[in-house]
Structure 1
Amino acid sequence: MGGVGGVGAERGDDDEAGRAPGLAQLLLALQFTDSSFPSGMYTLSHGLEGLRQQGAVDSGSLPEVLHGILRHSAGPADATALALAWAATREHGPGGGGSEQGDVGPADPEQGSADHDSLLSALTRIDQRLHATRLAREFRDGATRTGKQVLDLAAELLEDPVVSVWNAHVRARRTPGSQSVVMGVVYARGGLAQRDAVAADLTALVVSLAGASLRLRLSDHRSAQALVRGAAPVIAEVADAAVSRSLEELGGFAPMLDLASCHHERADARLFAS
């Protein structure tokens, strides 16, 4: 499989063939948001099991709870971090300046090294701040475990130098490697627009929450799909807010979710790691 740097060329071929532009980017997003992608997210309920154990959610209140997770937890934290990582990758990455072509870097090796250092510094600031805002250990561990799994596989699949450099940085334990920061890098290098990248990742979260609700018997297969569809306007709302936030504004506030996670960590029986 060719590197992500070839996305721009593929898009040009699509235009000449009369097909819709952006197909390569769409296919990338579909693959990485698919529930079968081996990210490890199937092990996470994102706090839903803890809320269930505390009696804070039932089938009737499930949509409202999911929307609350998006607006007050995932949106200000994960989605914002992804948007910031996307922007940092476009600005500081090799061949930066917001190029839509996904250039892998300039011809000058010294310039490329300087670009990588600048990018790693920017991404590390985002990653460490996001990690520090997570009050519950389950959420911190879940985000970094899935992030490392996705990043390692993305480096293999995409053969992109920027993704590979970030993977080496994370594997060297110089930064936590949160999943949302990883996806910001992957989607930026893959040529997705910033808002589309945020929306794709939020959709993956909603699908994961819907799957958890099935296993927790909060929904059936039909109502789970209604849950996903009903979250679409909220995803759009949260994505719009995420792309407008600064690093200083990064961080969610969902105390009930954090408390439920603390209780869940010490529960006698659990289906999920979070």
Structure 2
Amino acid sequence: MTTDPLLTLHQLFSPSFPVGAFAYSHGLETLVQEGRVTTAAQLQGWLEAVLRHGGGWSDAVLMAQVAQGADVAEIAELATALTPSAERRLETVKQGEAFASTVRDLWQADILPAPYPVAVGQAVRALDLPLIPALQLYLQAFASNLAAAGIRLIPLGQTEGQGVVRALSPLCEALAAQAAKASLDEIGGFSPLSDIASQRHEALYSRIFRS
């Protein structure tokens, strides 16, 4: 019996897939405490910047490179180097380790522990999953997890949070198409406020999230 690849992708990016994404805010907790992100519109604007110019874009390019056969060790080293803070490094490394372990156990696939997008790229290749839908769902899951963090932190209503995710879905689709064709030379981004927020997070007086 075989499974539709799209069903496999939905399982991989489901909130119930045990990577621990709910524990990380990507620096959002800092911005909320500082009063920089206090509304659904501001959350959407921050998420759009992170998707276009920050971790969302770089993750998508890294994932696509590995899925299309790039050297895993080389891309994993680059992925680690791109993290701007210790907590962001923890975020990607721990999620990647958990993802790789679960995929190995469920599909008996040869997936090496690696930063999260690199681990996902390996799974896409090993399980022969379609790249564009994988990138779309990865980016949407990235946005959805951080929107959920915003719902808890700001706080927002569930419907407001889902409105943010819905508004960002076309961007996830467009970025997926670009990342699938991008070279490593196009991986650079510029989201300094998000990066600084992730660096300042560990010094907050009280914290809910690990990043």
TM over 0.5: yes
Q: Does 1:191 align with 2:128?
A: yes
1:55 to 19, 35, 38: 35
Residue identity in the other structure for 2:32: R
Q: Secondary structure at the match of 2:54?
A: helix
1:159 to 91, 94, 108: 108
Pairing of 1:1-274 with structure 2 (within 5 A): 10=2, 24-59=4-39, 60-88=41-69, 122-160=71-109, 162-163=110-111, 166=112, 170=113, 177-274=114-211
Distance 1:251 1:137, change over 3 A: farther
TM-score for both structures, normalised by structure 1: 0.73
Distance 1:245 1:75, change over 3 A: farther
CA distance in 2, matches of 1:42, 1:190: 25
Residue identity in the other structure for 2:66: A
The answer to whether the 8 Å contact 1:40/1:146 transfers is: yes
The answer to whether the 8 Å contact 2:69/2:125 transfers is: no
The answer to whether the 8 Å contact 1:76/1:250 transfers is: yes
Q: Deviation at 1:242?
A: 1.2
Q: Deviations over 1:55-113 (max 9, x none)?
A: 22121311111111110113431111001010016xxxxxxxxxxxxxxxxxxxxxxxx
Residue identity in the other structure for 1:39: V
Q: Deviation at 1:198?
A: 0.9
CA distance in 2, matches of 1:253, 1:131: 17
CA distance in 2, matches of 1:192, 1:237: 19
Q: Deviation at 1:32?
A: 1.2
The answer to whether the 8 Å contact 2:21/2:145 transfers is: yes
Structure 1 alignment gaps of length 5 or more:
1-8, 11-22, 90-121, 171-176
The answer to whether the 8 Å contact 2:43/2:147 transfers is: no
CA distance in 1, matches of 2:34, 2:183: 34
- How many residues are matched? 210
CA distance in 1, matches of 2:120, 2:171: 20
CA distance in 2, matches of 1:191, 1:248: 26
Q: Deviation at 1:247?
A: 2.1
CA distance in 1, matches of 2:49, 2:123: 27
CA distance in 2, matches of 1:223, 1:266: 29
CA distance in 1, matches of 2:35, 2:188: 26
Overall identity of the aligned pairs, in %: 30
Q: Secondary structure at the match of 2:69?
A: helix
Residue identity in the other structure for 1:210: A
CA distance in 2, matches of 1:251, 1:133: 9
Between structure 1 and structure 2, the one with the greater Rg is 1
Residue identity in the other structure for 1:56: R
